Amino acid sequence: MLSGAGPEPSGSRRCGVLGDPIAHSLSPALHRAGYATLGLAWTYESERVAGDGLADFLASCDASWRGLSLTMPLKRTALALAPEVTERARLAGAANTLLLEDGAVVLADNTDLPGAVAAVRERYDGPVSAGTVLGGGATAASTGLALCELGARTVTLLARSPERAADAAAAVRRHPSRPRVEVGSLEHDAVVGEVVVSTVPAAAQDAGLLARCARVPVVFEVTYDPWPTPLAAAADADPRQVLVGGLDLLVHQAALQFALFTGRPAPLAEMRRAGERALAAR
């Protein structure tokens, strides 16, 4: 069980991932593989922390703590708890990364945004003039901004409750390129552009949604567990589509976190292999 205080072996630092739920997270496997590859005596664990519990957890951290990865529902609340926020985290209105020094948070960052860009470019080098994001939460904001970084001038957000996508839409509109942002219904509105990003659960991916995504050149499924989702399975079976998976995103954003925490380049290949092994064992 992860806790904020306690004795620490000499020469090691502590990192971890927080969220609710958290048992599914592959982040420990990835970061631990990175530490082992570089010979670092660091630890990385996971802890279930509810949306109102982040401040208390941070208050319990001692000087051995160096970094925290955040998943839902903590990404938006984390911004108010850091004295410095990177521009990309400010744009997204969410942070998935906290850097600590001497037991105190010093920086909030968002590695989902550049991680998503890297994940897409690893598998697709074509143009991106427009894209669609399925969902309206914090990850939708980050990946919508990533579409802008890839060149999209129009970003469409399709949400089950479009009014709940207001924060994500506002975040994407803040991108310096000033994209056109449209919000529609996940149930029936059109999927447009060269890339469709799914941030919605597998249970929301019905036959109608799959049909609307079938002609999009790139399908980016941010979920990695369960895998494959219906959308990922359909794209993987279609030779006309490029599939970017949730593990791709996880590895690239984790590599950026790893470098921020340790000050050393992340061993990307070893971290990816660790993630693949952990998924195969489930």
Residue 221's DSSP bridge partners are 198
pTM assigned to the model = 0.92
State how far the Cα of 43 lies from the Cα of 226, in Å rounded to an integer: 26
Question: Does residue 150 sit in the same domain as residue 28?
Answer: no
Question: Does residue 221 sit in the same domain as residue 274?
Answer: no
Statement: residue 262 has pLDDT above 90 = yes
Please confirm, yes or no, whether 75 is among the known catalytic residues.
yes
How is residue 114 written in tokens?
Answer: 């550049």
Picking from 25, 7, 9, the residue whose alpha carbon sits closest to that of residue 17 is 25
In a domain? residue 1: no
Per the listing, tokens 């020094």 go with 101
Question: Does residue 81 sit in the same domain as residue 124?
Answer: no
Statement: residue 9 has pLDDT above 70 = no
Range of the domain at 202: 113-244
pLDDT of residue 25: 94
Cis ω before 21 (30° cut-off from 0): yes
Statement: residue 7 has pLDDT above 70 = no
pLDDT of residue 5: 40
Instruction: Say if strands 218-221 and 195-198 run parallel, antiparallel, or are unpaired.
Output: parallel
Average pLDDT for 141-164: 96
State how far the Cα of 232 lies from the Cα of 104, in Å rounded to an integer: 40
**Any idea what the CATH number is for the domain that residue 20 is in?**
3.40.50.10860
In a domain? residue 8: no
In a domain? residue 4: no
Question: Does residue 149 sit in the same domain as residue 172?
Answer: yes
Contacts of 249 (CB under 8 A, 6+ apart): 112, 115, 116, 119, 220, 222, 224
Q: Tell me the Cα Rg of the chain.
A: 18
Question: Does residue 169 sit in the same domain as residue 131?
Answer: yes
Statement: residue 139 has pLDDT above 50 = yes
pLDDT of residue 11: 60
Phi, psi (degrees; rounded to nearest 5) at 28: -60, -40
Question: Does residue 128 sit in the same domain as residue 234?
Answer: yes
Question: Does residue 129 sit in the same domain as residue 198?
Answer: yes
In a domain? residue 224: yes
Asked if 155 and 144 touch (Cβ cutoff 8 Å), the reply is yes
pLDDT of residue 12: 84
How long, in residues, is the chain?
Answer: 282
H or E, element range at 155: strand 154-159
In a domain? residue 31: yes
Banded pLDDT at 162 (limits 50, 70, 90) = confident
* CA distances to 26, 85, 182, 189, 249 from 223, in Å: 11, 26, 23, 22, 9
Question: Does residue 103 sit in the same domain as residue 184?
Answer: no
Task: State the catalytic residue, choosing from 32, 75, 88, 175.
Answer: 75
State how far the Cα of 44 lies from the Cα of 37, in Å rounded to an integer: 14
pLDDT of residue 10: 39
* CA distances to 121, 228, 239 from 222, in Å: 15, 11, 20
Statement: residue 145 has pLDDT above 70 = yes
Question: Does residue 71 sit in the same domain as residue 161?
Answer: no
Statement: residue 3 has pLDDT above 90 = no
Per the listing, tokens 């195969």 go with 280
Query: What secondary structure letter does DSSP report for 191?
Result: P
pLDDT of residue 188: 94
**Any idea what the CATH number is for the domain that residue 143 is in?**
3.40.50.720
State how far the Cα of 191 lies from the Cα of 184, in Å rounded to an integer: 10
Statement: residue 233 has pLDDT above 90 = yes
Percent of the chain exceeding pLDDT 70 equals 96
Average pLDDT for 13-39: 97
- At 82-126, the pLDDT tens digits run 999 999 999 999 999 999 999 999 999 999 999 999 999 999 999
Per the listing, tokens 């998935």 go with 96
Average pLDDT for 71-76: 93
Query: What secondary structure letter does DSSP report for 193?
Result: S
Question: Does residue 125 sit in the same domain as residue 231?
Answer: yes
Question: Does residue 238 sit in the same domain as residue 258?
Answer: no
Per the listing, tokens 């609340």 go with 77
In a domain? residue 3: no
The structural domain count of the chain equals 2
Question: Does residue 55 sit in the same domain as residue 175?
Answer: no
In a domain? residue 2: no
In a domain? residue 89: yes
Average pLDDT for 175-192: 97
Amino acid type, 274: A
Amino acid type, 175: H
State how far the Cα of 239 lies from the Cα of 227, in Å rounded to an integer: 19
- At 43-64, the pLDDT tens digits run 999 999 999 999 999 999 999 9
Helix (H/G/I), strand (E/B), else coil: 34: helix
